[in-house]
Amino acid sequence: MAAKNKSILEGIKDVFFNSLSVILFFVVWEVGPRLGLLKSTLVSPPSEILVCFIKLITDEKLFSHIEVSLFRSVIGFIIAIIIGIPLGFLLGGWFKTFEKLVEPLLKFLGQFNPFSLFPIFILILGIGEVSKIAMIFWVCLWPVVFNTTTGVKELDPLLIKSGRAMGLGKFKLLTKIVLPGATPYIFNGFKLASSTAFFMLIAAEMMGASKGLGWLVWNAQVNFQIPKLYAGTVLISVLGLIINWLFKIWEKRILVWKEHAIN
């Protein structure tokens, strides 16, 4: 009986079986330390992590740390988009000479390990917020630029020619044809940049900061506060997952017309 819509019970069963491995993982994680299978000094069970989590929110202003971390990454990301997309377009083929002159150089610069550049950023911009935001900016810039460029280059030239044949001016050409055409790639660049941004920030905070989630986790590790360490790590991972997931959803809504050929 091929019913068109599965019953809710079947839906729940499906979800349950799909996530069975994850559930088992958490069960082992919870039970292991309690039964002594895993060293309880090294592994905190999820229940303990949850308790610590609540304490962090009330006693240690967890939300201000989260706020600081997110603020730094978001600002860096936005600046990278503002500069990166136009730059990507420029390199996409409008000005051939500029492109040939600058592109190899940018490809070279984009490959530099961002962690290795971190001391340089601190050197030039100081220990404050600016250096961290600048680092996020640097790390996000390259995926955005290169993906935008690819998006523009991959555009079917037929579309542009049709646009011109219909008498579209340069601006309309850009907004009505190039922009929507390049959007899947631009979005891919966003996704890459966003996940990189967040984890770069955490790393940067571990290395040189006095607040933020990265600092929180590092501090807990140095002071051997294990539940806090786990709480911070889990929180960072969850936030990272949420960011990825948000971008996937956003992409689905914007690229309504595009079939999922890339995935």
115 near other proteins (CB under 8 A): yes
Rounded distance between C-alpha atoms, residue 203 and residue 193, angstroms: 15
| Closest to 227 measured CA to CA, from 69, 24, 56, 60 | 56
Contact 219, 182 (CB under 8 A): no
Give the 3-state DSSP-derived string for 74-115, with helices as H, strands as E and coil as C: HHHHHHHHHHHHHHHHHHHHHCHHHHHHHHHHHHHHHCCCHH
**Smaller CB separation from other proteins, 5 or 21:** 21
x/- map, 163-202, other proteins, by CB under 8 A:
--------------------------------x---x--x
Rounded distance between C-alpha atoms, residue 58 and residue 73, angstroms: 24
Identified binder of other proteins from the candidate list 46, 93, 180, 240, rule CB under 8 A: 240
x/- map, 19-38, other proteins, by CB under 8 A:
xxxx-xx-------------
Identified binder of other proteins from the candidate list 135, 209, 229, 231, rule CB under 8 A: 229
x/- map, 207-226, other proteins, by CB under 8 A:
x---------xx-xx----x
Strand (E) or helix (H) holding 13: helix 8-18
Rounded distance between C-alpha atoms, residue 218 and residue 72, angstroms: 18
* Contact footprint for other proteins (CB under 8 A): 18-22, 24-25, 42, 97, 100-105, 108, 111-120, 122-124, 195, 199, 202-203, 206-207, 217-218, 220-221, 226, 229-230, 232-233, 236-237, 240-241, 244
